[in-house]
Chains A and B, each alone.
Chain A
Amino acid sequence: MRAPTPQTLAVAAAFLVVSLLWSWPLALDPAGSVVSGIDTWGTLWSLGGVQTLETAWPIGQNLGRADSLVLLALRRLVPMGSPTVAAAVWVILAPVATALAAEATARGFGATRPWSLLAGLTLGFGGPATAALVDGQLYTLFCPWLPLLALDWHRATRPDGTAVQGLRSGIWWVLCLGTTAYLGIAATLWVLGGLLAAGGRRTLRWAGPVAAAAVALPAGALYLSFFAAGDTRSGVLGVDPARAMEVGSASLSTLASWAPVVAADPHAVASPLGFVPVALVAVAPLVLGDQRGWRFPALVGLIALVASLGPTLRLAPGMNGAPGLLAPLTTLPGAAWFRFPARLLWVTTLGFGLVASRAAGCLAERPGTRPFALVLLAAAAVEILVLVGAPFRTTPALAKPPSALVTLPNGPHLSLFAPSPGRHVDVELFLVDRSCAWQAWHRQPLFARCLDTDTRSDPRARVSAEVHAALLANQPGEVRALLQAVGAASVSVHPDSYAGSEADAVLAGLRAALGSATAESTDHGVQVTVFTVPQPVADRARARDALAALP
């Protein structure tokens, strides 16, 4: 393995500076806070290294619904310490790795330094990466595999392509799929596009693609069977696919900039592309002309861009529009799983970044234009921070658990919240997600399902509903017997989730059932009261029978 050159180290340092600014102010308090996002808490749970058998007590859960198998594998291989520190280090370093890979790929596609930095900036810190950060899907930020796949696949499908290049491409594709399913779909789009382009030129040698398929097809089939065996959240498949895809699609306005209205949605779909790479891609036909190697990245990026607009081409979210490229997909079975076409923009930022770096380099070679091109490079970096807007779209959130939850009694723990408090089920989902994240600290089994969390059908929801019903009926003996039967060793109540006097009623009922609270705290922004359940059933099978007997 070659040692990095001083130039490579300088490029890495430049990306690190951008990353620190991009994730600001995370670097100020990496041990205590995380970037606030709807999926941040699930990522913290994954970084905590908790066994899935310790969730959804007493049933347990398999890994079929894991957001990122690569994250879970890395968590096993690399000691990461505190989940918050691990998340912060991940947020700061993962985009640097992705950007470095994109920068190297750009040079592989014919760009020169420093213009190849454009590819790194566009992919590592661009719209899709920022949307992943805002959403808390931190695992997506570490995807050097996508640009490495682009480079090796480009080489493998040339007339002099080799089986080794194809083999490497297959491995990169598997890693993309393991990082997230959406990244796997994005990688597949790139691979199929490359195959069609090479086939169209009649220059394809099959050694590379066959070697890639030898790796990718078995791994892909394994992944699909794994996914099919996963615990299915009841809500996903009941959603109208067209409606689900529209919410998760890009629109012309979200491609241009982000806005507080969009950022207020549960999931961030605003993935601004940045106008500097778009402008350079727009002039690429004039600048690069007959040169080789730029048309395919530009074309596949453009196709992904149109596909990211989803089933309806709209000017802005919520507006009416014309049928889009993905409209036929909405009639297919299982289409509801593909809820975020906007994530195909990973392909666009990769393709456009590669072409933009080539075009900028070509412009800079012309007499008298180098200073202007350097200004453009600086503008691209500023644009990433301001227009794409990560520092303005993210805020730190306190992540550490309240002190009352750190020292729970040994045994399964039930978190009790008001069912669907307020008018938004998202509030309850947030509370479940966060209670799962805290498991990384207290490490007691939870009734909540922590992969593909749910507020309706998991053991936590079912036991909570019964506990609330018994409390409402003023039957403390029933509450105690139920908690003992399902094996709960402790119960935590979050009074702030209940409206008005409901919290007092719940606390009084639990005191009558279980005696005085054993711990209370209001630190880290959370009010929580913990009760210990005396003599719970310790046998998982008996607890499972008791759960099965619930309505």
Chain B
Amino acid sequence: MLMPGPLPVCALLAALSASAASQRLLFQVQVPAGTATTALAVEVSRLGTTQTVRLTDDGSAPGDVPGDGVHTGWLDGSHATLSQVVLRDGEAVLYAGTDVTTRTGVDRVGFALRTVGDRVEAIRAPASLPGAPGRLGTGAGRVAAYGWGALALLYVGGMLLWSRRQGS
């Protein structure tokens, strides 16, 4: 006789709960056209350890579009709510700061490069794959929302016309 195993739902819940303890930090750097970089990398210190992540634009990161100017890299590890992040291009430090990374699963840390005088620096920017952080994704969402709005208005207007025609 087969012994009843754990309910699939319970197994699923356990798996999902376990995944809450792990975290993927996804780093994205938007590099404007014409801005030369040598070797973008992020140095991350959290929970007492420091690791370095190389950032590339070759499509190797999940969801990355190769050659779109967004350099991407990721770091898997235990969930940490606070990270010290240093963004370098070769030896040059482009950004150094503290980031709150409370999200379990995937948390994104985005940057955009800008040229100030003869030097390049990085600013924190909302991250949104694919494409440029916070731009393409935002635009697509807006277009979809307005499209849906127009459809809803047409639908309700159509119902009104239909009902009037049926009534007459």
Contact = CB atoms under 8 A, between A and B. Distances in A.
A275 B166 contact: no
B80 interface: yes
Given A398-B79, A421-B97, A495-B48, A366 B145 contact: no
A339 B82 CA distance: 28
Interface in B54-95: 78-84
A280 B159 CA distance: 11
A328 B104 CA distance: 44
B32 interface: no
Nearest to A399: B102
A497 B46 CA distance: 9
A496 B84 contact: yes
Interface stretch (A24-32, A231-239, A455-463, A477-485): A24-32
B167 A525 contact: no
A259 B141 CA distance: 7
Interface string B13-56: 10011001001000000000000000000000111100000000
A496 B47 contact: yes
A406 interface: no
B155 to A, nearest CB: 7
Interface string B133-154: 0100110011011101101110
B100 to A, nearest CB: 5
A79 interface: no
B163 A396 contact: no
A282 B150 CA distance: 12
Contact of A259 (B45, B100, B138, B166): B138
A352 to B, nearest CB: 13
Interface residues on B, range: 35 or more
A397 B104 contact: yes
Interface string A523-551: 01111000000000000000000000000
Interface residues of A, number: 62
Contacts of B151: 275
A527 B46 CA distance: 8
Interface of A: 25, 28-29, 32-33, 36, 253, 256-261, 263-264, 272, 275-276, 278-280, 282-283, 286-287, 363, 366-369, 372-373, 376, 379, 383, 387, 395-398, 418, 421-424, 426-427, 430-431, 434, 494-500, 522, 524-527
The 10 closest A-B pairs by CB, nearest first: A257-B145, A422-B97, A366-B163, A422-B98, A264-B126, A421-B98, A275-B152, A275-B149, A397-B102, A496-B82
Interface of B: 13, 16-17, 20, 23, 45-48, 78-84, 96-100, 102-105, 107, 124, 126-128, 134, 137-138, 141-142, 144-146, 148-149, 151-153, 155-157, 159-160, 162-163, 166-167
Given A36-B103, A368-B163, A427-B100, 8 more contacts: A275-B145, A279-B155, A283-B156, A396-B20, A427-B99, A496-B98, A499-B84, A527-B80
28 contacts: A33-B104, A256-B142, A256-B146, A256-B149, A259-B137, A259-B138, A259-B142, A260-B134, A263-B126, A275-B149, A283-B157, A363-B159, A367-B166, A368-B162, A376-B159, A379-B152, A379-B155, A383-B152, A398-B104, A423-B124, A427-B100, A496-B84, A522-B47, A522-B78, A525-B23, A525-B79, A526-B80, A526-B81
